[in-house]
């Protein structure tokens, strides 16, 4: 591994201080399941590693008045065990549950999944449909950025060199609203998404969809929000033709690459199918409320 200097600040102020005065390039360490591998291979020169897990609140998840405040470094294992969160955001929890093995879940975090910014990150589409925002702290204070705007490219997000992610805020969903996430992988477990789709729907008492969000992953440089797919669902009772229209909109919005795990054509098609199926699951979840 490359030469490292390691700090584990126990306050936000100390962390920002370290980031803004660092002389070498900085890597923020959360669960480490991506970073430690990257430091063994891709990264060649010296790094300052700032372990953010000891900062108060980084590993907690608390319900505030109108949102869930999620500490970015909470492990997926801790997160997926939270029945209270599962009850409200089943799609977000199922996305986190798909990441890696039990061992990887023990360390991997949602904030890490987000900041690592893989196009195929499972939790990102689920965060986007839930209107999650990133609370970012830097030398000049805090700012909030919606998750869909946080990501800027493959492996890239908008954190400045003096900034870190301090919380992910997920607003309480509107009444009769639920989410779902599905991905396609070539085997049954522990793989990287070839395509993924998250959907959130709000249904009125008669089953008409009054609001929806659709986000797709692994089919573009970043996960993307697809308003045209949501529009195809809104105002319908999610009949087959509405679902097909949403699927077509997702396929249309996708801008995938071909690689050994899937061709452009396959990814485009499958992301539509996943959109359709996730919309149905989300609607069934509202029906079960």
What is the contact surface with other proteins in residues (CB under 8 A)? Answer: 1-6, 8, 29, 31-33, 36-37, 39-40, 49, 51, 53, 75, 77-78, 100-104, 106-107, 189-190
Q: Which is nearer to other proteins, 76 or 215 (CB)?
A: 76
How far is Cα 12 from Cα 52, in angstroms, rounded to an integer? 9
- Counting Cα atoms < 13 Å in the Cβ hemisphere of 17 gives 8
Per-residue tokens: 18: 């370290």
Q: Which is nearer to other proteins, 103 or 255 (CB)?
A: 103
Q: How far is the CB of 17 from other proteins (least distance, A)?
A: 19
φ, ψ dihedrals at 63, nearest 5°? -85, 120
Q: Which is nearer to other proteins, 64 or 190 (CB)?
A: 190
Q: How far is the CB of 49 from other proteins (least distance, A)?
A: 6
Q: Which is nearer to other proteins, 40 or 284 (CB)?
A: 40
- Counting Cα atoms < 13 Å in the Cβ hemisphere of 13 gives 0
User: Exposed, middle or buried by CB within 10 Å (0-12, 13-18, 19+), for 23?
Assistant: exposed
Q: Which is nearer to other proteins, 187 or 260 (CB)?
A: 187
Q: How far is the CB of 24 from other proteins (least distance, A)?
A: 12
Q: Which is nearer to other proteins, 97 or 266 (CB)?
A: 97
Q: How far is the CB of 43 from other proteins (least distance, A)?
A: 11
- Asked if 161 contacts 17 with a C-beta cutoff of 8 angstroms, the reply is no
Q: How far is the CB of 78 from other proteins (least distance, A)?
A: 8
- Asked if 71 contacts 61 with a C-beta cutoff of 8 angstroms, the reply is yes
Helices (H), the chain: 12-21, 35-40, 76-80, 83-88, 90-97, 102-105, 110-116, 123-129, 147-150, 227-233, 240-253, 264-287
Q: How far is the CB of 30 from other proteins (least distance, A)?
A: 11
């Amino acid at each position: 591994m490359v030469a490292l200097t390691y700090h584990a600040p126990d306050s936000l102020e100390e962390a920002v201080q370290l980031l803004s005065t660092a002389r070498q390039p900085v890597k923020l360490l959360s669960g480490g399941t991506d970073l430690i591998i990257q430091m063994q291979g891709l990264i060649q020169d010296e790094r300052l590693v700032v372990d953010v897990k000891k900062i108060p609140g980084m590993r907690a998840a608390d319900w505030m008045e109108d949102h869930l405040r999620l500490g970015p470094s909470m492990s997926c294992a801790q997160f997926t065990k939270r029945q209270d969160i599962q009850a409200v955001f089943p799609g977000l929890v199922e996305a986190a549950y798909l990441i890696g093995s039990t061992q990887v879940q023990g360390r991997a975090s949602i904030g890490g999944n987000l900041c690592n910014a893989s196009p195929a990150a499972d939790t990102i589409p689920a965060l986007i449909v839930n209107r999650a925002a990133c609370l970012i702290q830097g030398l000049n204070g805090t700012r909030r950025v919606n998750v869909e705007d946080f990501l800027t490219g493959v492996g890239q997000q908008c954190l400045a060199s003096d900034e870190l992610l301090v919380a992910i805020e997920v607003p309480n969903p509107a009444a009769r609203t639920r989410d779902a996430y599905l991905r396609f992988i070539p085997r049954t477990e522990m793989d990287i998404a070839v395509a993924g789709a998250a959907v959130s729907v709000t249904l009125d008492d008669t089953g008409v969809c009054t609001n929806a969000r659709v986000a797709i992953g692994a089919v573009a440089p970043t996960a993307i929000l697809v308003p045209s797919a949501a529009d195809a669902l809104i105002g319908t009772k999610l009949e087959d033709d509405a679902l097909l229209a949403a699927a077509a909109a997702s396929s249309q919005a996708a801008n995938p690459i071909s690689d050994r795990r899937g061709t452009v054509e396959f990814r485009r098609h499958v992301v539509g199918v996943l959109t359709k199926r996730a919309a149905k699951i989300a609607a069934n979840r509202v029906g079960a409320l």
